[in-house]
Amino acid sequence: MTHLIYFSSVSGNTARFVEKLGVPAERIPLFPSDEPLHARDPFVLVLPTYGGGEGRGAVPKQVIRFLNDEGNRSLIRGVIATGNTNFGEGYCLAGDIVADKCRVPLLYRVEVFGTPDDVSAVQDGLDQFWTQQSTTSR
Amino acid sequence: MTVTDPAHATGKAIPLIQAVQAINWNRIQDDKDVEVWNRLVNNFWLPEKIPLSNDVQSWNTLTPAEQQLTMRVFTGLTLLDTIQGTVGAISLIPDAITSHEEAVYTNIAFMESVHAKSYSSIFSTLASTPEIDDAFRWSTENVNLQKKAQIVLDYYTGDDPLKRKVASTLLESFLFYSGFYLPMYWSSRAKLTNTADMIRLIIRDEAVHGYYIGYKFQKGLEGASDERRQEIKDYTFNLLFELYDNEVQYTQDLYDGVGLTEDVKKFLHYNANKALMNLGYEPMFPKDVTDVNPAILSALSPNADENHDFFSGSGSSYVIGKAETTEDEDWDF
């Protein structure tokens, strides 16, 4: 069963995309004072890319904090990134960075909050991916 | 609508802000203001840093018609950047919800003036004075270009803050792209590559501007009644259609001669969708009219290639990417 963990800033584009997918999802909290999220099951991470600045700061701090927790990190299986091609080489860079650091595949890139075609591609993709995961890992 | 009547634009004054408080960056009401301010500052650049003169040889390989097209496209972009720097971004200041938002608009306004000036750097590097003057004359005489300037200016001088933000976002995220197409096209053919590097910096800035103004628009809409929301939504789509119709004619004017009109239109649809999304609306153009030429897309973003994705590429050929240049000190592993 697909399980998502996502981060979305107050502008809410990533949250909106995740809602459209209609699968169980938990949100990484926005503020350092909030109770940190601890993953309990394998998950796919959905995160936005903060553009510009030659790639520094592309991954939201909240996501870095979440992944610095080894328990959380051990359960990540894949990444989906949102972004904007206007950022050139920085397009969805946060997805590349997390995929590289956690040694998991970058599954898909979405612009802003995604078109209806993105939603169905990701829904289908996640179903297949999760089926593969459960047959290969256990 | 008559389009080139100068009294039309100057008939209404843009309101200035009525009262000013000393801005305190140590007390933040909306974190987005600081985040975007920092992004804009980190992205700051000047045209003098781009070695445009390396494009002279390449410029000379273009036919006279291609050179003229390029000059015209860039004067069109200059006009839009001038509007946005001198009127558009400034007109948003009185409606700002926070004082930090006001400061962000001043940053946006200045950067638009940098963009406008950067086209002049291209011109002085590549073209002669009579060619430059010709292109600027064209920009004042082209009906569709003047019309798009007029439509947007009318809303900037109007009295509805949300409508101003819609017009501004459509300018930042949609109206530029009939122009941006051409340097991406040249770049995909290994022509004017330094110029294209500069345009990519402009494109990146416009993305932050469109995102931020669109976000503030959505904040402004939060407390609105259903009727008001419907009014604004209808207005947005009507304005988009009006601008789109004009944009198609503008595109035909420019690109019919080189046979690129249909390709440019796909780029317009693709960007219109993103402009709508910046405003929080669902994308309108379906997949079969937004399939931008892959060469243009990869000139825009080398990562936009579908094969980079696990789901959409053939899974077997997928390799985990390497993103080495981007260490952030916050990582613990």
Find which of B219, B278, B309 to mutate to test the A interface (most A CBs within 10 Å of its CB). B309
* pLDDT (tens digit per residue) in A59-109: 999 999 999 999 999 999 999 999 999 999 899 999 999 999 999 999 999
CA within 13 Å, CB half, B256 = 5
Look at A104-113, B56-65, B68-77, B153-162 and tell me which has the smallest mean pLDDT: B153-162
pLDDT reported for residue A52: 67
Name the residue with tokens 């780029």.
B267
pLDDT reported for residue B313: 62
- From chain B, pick out residues whose CB is under 8 angstroms from the CB of A100: 320-324
pLDDT reported for residue B7: 41
Closest by alpha carbon to A76, among A95, A55, A49? A95
Look at A99-103, B13-17, B209-213, B258-262 and tell me which has the smallest mean pLDDT: B13-17
pLDDT reported for residue A53: 63
* pLDDT (tens digit per residue) in B204-214: 999 999 999 99
Question: What CATH number does the domain containing A107 carry?
Answer: 3.40.50.360
Domain count, chain A: 1
- Tell whether B227 lies on the interface with A, counting CB pairs under 8 A: no
Grouping H, G, I as helix, E, B as strand and the rest as coil, residue A6 is strand
Sequence-distant (6+) residues with CB within 8 A of A77 are A42, A43, A44, A104, A129, A133
Name the residue with tokens 């950047």.
B81
**pLDDT above 70: residue A16:** yes
pLDDT reported for residue B319: 53
pLDDT reported for residue A13: 96
* pLDDT (tens digit per residue) in B281-323: 999 999 999 999 999 999 999 878 766 678 876 444 455 555 5
Min Cα separation B319/chain A (Å): 8
- Tell whether A88 lies on the interface with B, counting CB pairs under 8 A: yes
pLDDT reported for residue B177: 98
A68 to B331: CB separation less than 8 angstroms, yes or no: yes
A53 to B332: CB separation less than 8 angstroms, yes or no: no
B310 to A112: CB separation less than 8 angstroms, yes or no: no
Task: Supply the range of the domain harboring residue A65.
Answer: 4-137
* Mean pLDDT of all residues in B139-144: 97
Grouping H, G, I as helix, E, B as strand and the rest as coil, residue A105 is coil
Sequence-distant (6+) residues with CB within 8 A of A107 are A44, A78, A79, A80, A122, A125, A126, A129, B309, B310, B311
Give dist(CA B264, CA B280) in Å, integer.
Answer: 24
The whole-model pTM stands at 0.93
Q: Domains of chain B (ranges plus CATH)?
A: 56-304 (1.10.620.20)
**Strands across the sheet containing A76-83:** A25-27, A4-6, A43-48, A76-83, A106-111
Pure H helices in chain B: 6-10, 31-42, 56-59, 64-83, 89-91, 99-126, 129-141, 143-156, 161-170, 177-188, 193-221, 226-255, 261-278, 294-300
Closest by alpha carbon to B94, among B169, B185, B157, B137? B157
* Mean pLDDT of all residues in B321-328: 58
- Tell whether A27 lies on the interface with B, counting CB pairs under 8 A: no
- Contact assessment for residue A84 and residue A91, using Cβ atoms and an 8 Å cutoff: yes
- Tell whether A106 lies on the interface with B, counting CB pairs under 8 A: yes
* pLDDT (tens digit per residue) in B93-126: 999 989 999 999 999 999 999 999 999 999 999 9
Name the residue with tokens 């897309």.
B297
* Mean pLDDT of all residues in B59-64: 98
pLDDT reported for residue B310: 84
Closest by alpha carbon to B300, among B330, B257, B266? B266
**pLDDT above 80: residue B14:** no
Where does the pLDDT of residue B175 fall: very low under 50, low under 70, confident under 90, or very high at 90 and above? very high
Q: How much is the mean pLDDT over chain B?
A: 91
B211 to A111: CB separation less than 8 angstroms, yes or no: no
Give dist(CA B37, CA B103) in Å, integer.
Answer: 8
Q: Residues of B with catalytic annotation?
A: 119
Of residues B2 and B63, more confidently modeled: B63
pLDDT reported for residue B102: 96
* Mean pLDDT of all residues in B245-258: 97
> What does DSSP say about strands A43-48 and A4-6: parallel, antiparallel, or unpaired?
parallel
Find which of A34, A89, A93, A112 to mutate to test the B interface (most B CBs within 10 Å of its CB). A112
pLDDT reported for residue B323: 55
